[in-house]
Amino acid sequence: MKNEKNKKTLVILAVWLLISCLLLLMFQAHGYYDLGATVFFLLLVYVSLVRFEASLKLKCLLYISVISKLVFAFYLYSNSIILFPDTIGYFRIIDTMFNSDSLSLRSVINYAGTLHVGYHYVALLVFKAFKTYFAIYMLSIYLFLLSVLMLKTHFTWEFGTSVGTSVFVFLCFSGFMFVFMSNVLKDPLVLFLSSFVLFMYSKFKKNNNALTFILILLGLVHLTLTRIYSGVALALAILVDIIISREIKISTTQTLFIIIAVLSVFLFTPLRAHFDMGIRFVKGISLSPSTLLTIMKSTISFFLSPFFWNMTSELTIYTPLLLDSIFFLVFSPLLINFFIHVIFKKSFRRRLYIYLIPIVTHILTLGIAYETGAVRQRIAVYPMVFIFYVLGLPRKKCAIVNIKVIHWPSKTDPLALV
């Protein structure tokens, strides 16, 4: 077993060295000589893949996915191509923060003109370390890699190896991930933080450890600072799951402490402004027939958009999303089957509140705010949407639906780096 593991490590090292050298030579050939950030990024990728417990095929698949995004990001950077207006805003704000004497939360909110400033601090830290905007592109890609590793582990612990592997493969091939994880956007950080919280929550359900719970709180705080409704939705989902779940062995006192701790974070910290903003948004909702119709339309759009027939007339940045769009539409009967089980099977439904509540929150928020299901704004719950399809498979093909499987390594943690 040890020899086989050493052989895998050597194969990964050989492939990594070859591709890394080719990439560095290619970057130099295109006039990019500030390679420190690139070498550091490639080292992080190698260490993460080596430490992660998976088959060699899966590691190679993830590596190919990461390198393809890196090449695409370098093409955008070296040709000064900006695909999203938000990217320009991030560069401007990071530059302002870099030259500013004050980086307080209030100051950065004023610079950005929004309460969503969690990403700006992370991007500034990377920019200060490497003094190149290309490092921020690589940050997005590395956050994607960590997210995939954590999500595979989380869903493996929750539903078994087959489900975890299917999520892993889907995210590696996803056109949605290719587009939004290769650009300077806050979406990679949103995906990472939501994945981190889910991963740590799986650990907390097993070890009931105070440090694990603190890490969950920190993840929720940063997620809320980055995208309010994603952080609040996941916090609410965890509270509901703790209250109704029979799998977490904690006392009533501990439950009350957790509820008070989570509420205190949102009510008695700088997040209070974010909480108040959410309350104002909820109060502004009127349950009129037009609002209900909008929510119904946004629900369909959330799971199935963008529709592939709207993306075939010309090539755009959203064209790679065609792969995801076709998949979700062709296999939509699985989604219907999933919701039938959710409605009629209480034990099945109880296990899924941690995913159902964030998705419903995103549908309501995005439906009312945008009158659609939006696209990249659903990034925090995008892997959950795919899980619904997997769990909608017929029972004989997805026996894992009825089984609670949590695999806990006795000596090593497959994500010890995270």
Q: How many residues does the chain have?
A: 418
Binned average pLDDT, 10 residues per bin, the chain of 418 residues: 69 84 88 84 92 86 94 93 93 94 89 90 95 94 96 93 94 94 96 96 86 92 91 90 72 75 74 69 64 76 73 76 88 92 87 92 79 76 94 66 42 36
Output the 3-class SS for 124-185: HHHHHHHCCCHHHHHHHHHHHHHHHHHHHHHHHHHHCHHHHHHHHHHHHHCHHHHHHCCCCC
Measured at the CA of 113, the angle between CA 74 and CA 185, to 5 degrees, comes to 20
DSSP 8-state class, residue 104? -
In whole angstroms, what is the distance from residue 103 CA to residue 193 CA?
Answer: 22
pTM of the model: 0.88
In whole angstroms, what is the distance from residue 64 CA to residue 12 CA?
Answer: 12
Measured at the CA of 372, the angle between CA 236 and CA 296, to 5 degrees, comes to 75
Tokens of 327: 């998949």
The string over 231-256, giving b where at least 16 C-beta atoms fall within 10 Å of a residue's C-beta and e elsewhere, is bbbbbbbbbebbeeeeebeeeeeeee
CB 172 within 8 A of CB 160: no
Query: What does each C-alpha distance from 230 to 36, 89, 118, 366, 379 come to in angstroms?
Result: 34, 21, 13, 11, 9
CB 195 within 8 A of CB 154: yes
In whole angstroms, what is the distance from residue 341 CA to residue 335 CA?
Answer: 10
What H or E segment, with its residue span, contains residue 357? helix 353-370
DSSP 8-state class, residue 314? S
The pLDDT of residue 309 is 64
Closest CA to 224 of 256, 280, 270: 270
DSSP string spanning 277-290? HHHHHHHT----HH
Query: What does each C-alpha distance from 48 to 59, 142, 323, 418 come to in angstroms?
Result: 10, 10, 27, 9
The domain limits of the chain are 1-81, 82-402
The pLDDT of residue 357 is 93
Residue reference for tokens 């994607």: 144
